[in-house]
Structure 1
């Protein structure tokens, strides 16, 4: 059964697997231009370097690691 992961926390834990030895932090957040959609940049501190991921808020309320598509014009009949 497919379940939609809506929580940003669940996605951060899934993608970055934070632990006490590898903490995470939000390093940037805001809205994209020109459609003003929300985004968050999360960074995981590793031993050698840092790993960062951007998460984007979609119209259905989910957070994903890819930006939402721009709305396209449609002609109705």
Structure 2
């Protein structure tokens, strides 16, 4: 089994390659919750103007652009 962790730096570089920017900075972040999840806003500038991307830390330590889904009740098959 291959284990690759997606660091915040890796995810920022990945998304900025999709939308070339001249500069980027972390604009704001949230404090970690009790389960270790947090959110960071990265602002990048390009020729058409600034844009922001939010990155969310998942329960396993990876970062993604989608927030981690909360656990919900589910029915199983017996």
TM-score (normalised: structure 2): 0.72
How far apart in 1 are the matches of 2:72 and 2:48? 43
User: Aligned-residue CA RMSD in angstroms?
Assistant: 3.4
Find the counterpart in structure 2 of residue 37 from structure 1. Answer: 37
Instruction: Tell me whether 1:55 sits opposite 2:55 in the alignment.
Output: yes
Structure 1: segments with no counterpart, 5+ residues: none
5+ long unaligned stretches in structure 2? none
- Greater CA deviation, 38-47 or 23-32? 23-32
Residues 11-46 of structure 1: CA distance to partner in whole angstroms, max 9, x if unpaired? 100101398x7110011100488x773000001111
Q: State whether structure 2 residue 64 is matched by structure 1 residue 64.
A: yes
Deviating beyond 6 angstroms after TM superposition, the runs of 4 or more aligned structure 1 residues are none
Contact 2:36 2:59 in 1 (8 A): no
Q: TM-score, normalised by structure 1?
A: 0.73
CA distance in 2, matches of 1:60, 1:4: 11
